[in-house]
Structure 1
Amino acid sequence: MRIEEDRTSVLVRWAVAAWGVIVAVLTAPVAAALVGVVYRFPIPFGDEARGIGEVGNAAMASVFYLVRGEGPLLAVLGGGVGYFLARAVGPGLFRPLVLAVLAAFGLALLGALILAAI
């Protein structure tokens, strides 16, 4: 008789964590552009990006912040959220993956909002 677990396998947890890392870092420019359209986004060594005309500047400024130190922090947070969501949601791959992608984009958006508020 075989006892089956209701938990997600280790491979699925790490795959979802990897997707959390990838999505958190790669969607940071999109999140910065959205924040720049709605509110404002600081451009290093310059003014602020505001409105639709400054979307490209906000995205490039986000790349500068990623290289400067925000990237590893977003990667760690996105991976952690993905891992723990895969562990908490239960068996399967699709539902934890979708939740991890949404949470990682939320983290990128939160990071852009924090940069805009400073």
Structure 2
Amino acid sequence: MRIEEESTSRLVLWAVAAWGAIAAVLSTPLTAALMGLAYRFPIPFDGTATGLAEAGNAGLASIYYLVMGEGFLLAALGAAAGYFIARALTPYLLRPLILAILASAALSLLSALILAIFA
């Protein structure tokens, strides 16, 4: 979808930023389950989740980390990524939206990796 202006409107910038924030938070349980499947993921008050049998537990444990404060950081980083991607790829809408969702999922995977390594 092409926007008829030379530059992207503020509404499009903030819409892509909002989708980046939403995608970063909603992709966290999936990326935590993938991290638990591939490496390990820390479960609060229990230990670590490793393997296929514990992938669901890793996804549920990520919700605890989201509530305890990681969600705000991920949402802010996802929104910033979406905003700057939309500004860089003016005046289109669909391509920045897809790239913002992918970048937010990558940020979520990076945060799961950081938790797996340092916790």
TM-score by length of 1: 0.94
* Aligned position for 1:99: 99
The structure having more radius of gyration, on CA atoms, is 1
Question: Could you say which residue in structure 2 is the equivalent of 1:67?
Answer: 67
Q: Distance in 2 between matches of 1:55 and 1:68?
A: 20
Letter in 2 for 1:64: Y
Deviation of residue 25 (structure 1)? 0.3
2-side partners of 1:54 and 1:6: how far apart? Answer: 50
Match of 1:52, SS state, is coil
Q: TM-score, normalised by structure 2?
A: 0.94
Identity of aligned residues (%): 62
1:1-43 Cα offsets, whole Å, 9 max, x none, are xxx8532111110000000010000110001000000000000
Secondary structure at 2:101 match in 1: helix
1:19 equivalenced with 2:19 (yes/no): yes
5+ residue gaps in structure 2?
A: none
- Could you tell me which amino acid in structure 2 is paired with residue 31 of structure 1? T
Structure 1: segments with no counterpart, 5+ residues: none
Report matched runs for 1:37-48 at 5 Å.
37-48=37-48
Report the AA paired with residue 78 of structure 2: G
The residue identity in structure 2 corresponding to 1:86 is A
